[in-house]
Structure 1
């Protein structure tokens, strides 16, 4: 019986092939997120632990629903992205279908999560037990995170710029769908090559979902900052809790846009980096030119890195599910015999 031998694939080539799989970025991100959590725990100072022990349990529990909603929502964004990728890529056989939802799904999923956090904040707004005067005017950016907001704005700028630029470079097909990129062979008398491209048919749904996500994020951050503090003595603890809500909101929104951006860059790289064409029955190959081919290649290489960053953000937000609210341990911890004896005396 003849034996079939499969030649070994070099490690570098295998890694390059895996980078073309979006879900491989999730595996890499899981390793990085685990390392980040371990480093955070090892670097936790005594000041941080004392702050957790002295935190007000009622204050921590007040903000727990928002924290849980964002943590569960981060998992749902990952699940939605992975499910769409598996179903569309491996289970369905779609032909001549504009799969615009492939790029709009992560943005829409992030929109749903952020909107749910906004509804929780608005629905659970409470009247302060004791007015806490403050001379600081709170805005949507009061509780930050400053670096996270800057990163989310960069992701927004990159996604919108990429989508508009690709839409302007696209061309319609016979049915009027803007899904083609026209590539020419200047030194040959052949028809233009029209591969599928990230045109307006794909980009418009992404822009609509992105605009809604930006609005929902701004409303959530604004509502989170504007609600009154319970009492003057809870301002410090509530500030920490609200900062976590803001951080989770910005992280989920930025991750949704980065996942869409990574998918768009992959699509543009597949179509825009074509350099030569071979025609059956014709000897030789023809050079294909596109003025932005270099950017398409760079985008293809950066796409996995962008996806890894997005998944790391989502996994760090999801890790809050395992975190016990600061100060609540004192509620469930039984009193020691020494304390009981002292109280009896």
Structure 2
């Protein structure tokens, strides 16, 4: 049975929120004909400008009649100003009621929440929009860290390209991980990153210190994971007493020195796992974590997955991969001319 994917856009939407998932589903359709059909709808039928100026053609949201498998709502910088658009929000709620599942990309989660679809659910969004989602909709359990979250029949994803991860997860659920892997390789993207993986690297979660000496010390920590990074050693390097250093570092970065060092070393271990085939004992030593047992414990705490599993999923080492796409793709159907808006005729 072909699954109908309907993507809701609006003036100012983020083009990648549409294009990324659409290419995932489109590639899956090439590999498994009859699996997906993607359509785009908007509050009003016609040409819809994305935030970057690219224009797409869309049908009318209120004219959708056939059953929907997956309703997906894009995000964009214009979303906050559209939360009071009753036609858009009401249309999303109406379509979601008849869809097998509903999803959002980036801050499209705000539109789902306004439509009442995230009430008492766990959800994610772009980390820059997380606080707004929390404040506007206190009934939503917001977790800004994961790439995507599944809560019942509602899926939400983080910023922009995490929509690709979400779409790959949906393909894996529908058609199996083997086909989702072929889609990922065909698009030259990560092979289905787990939803629990963080939106950004661990050191990025810390603030940049206002003090130049602390900024230099922060860079030193990230560049020298095997060094003595104890509080006494770091305080001496910064020319401060241990107590004063700990207080100033925590105030300016939002993390204690020990917490920042552990996160930095975890990130160093992640990079080694992805870029090398070194044994876990060597990765632990080179990243400053010491032992494989410590590596496992720290990696599970910060990355929510075992080190070996992370390497299996995200290794960047060359490997012989099976062909991801058919030898010959079907010719594209002719594209009909789009009607110009009345003011441009």
TM-score normalised according to structure 2 size:
0.21
Query: Rg bigger for which structure?
Result: 1
Q: Between the two structures, name the one with larger relative contact order (CA 8 Å, sep ≥ 6).
A: 1
Give the number of the structure whose residues are more often strand, by fraction.
2
TM-score normalised according to structure 1 size:
0.21
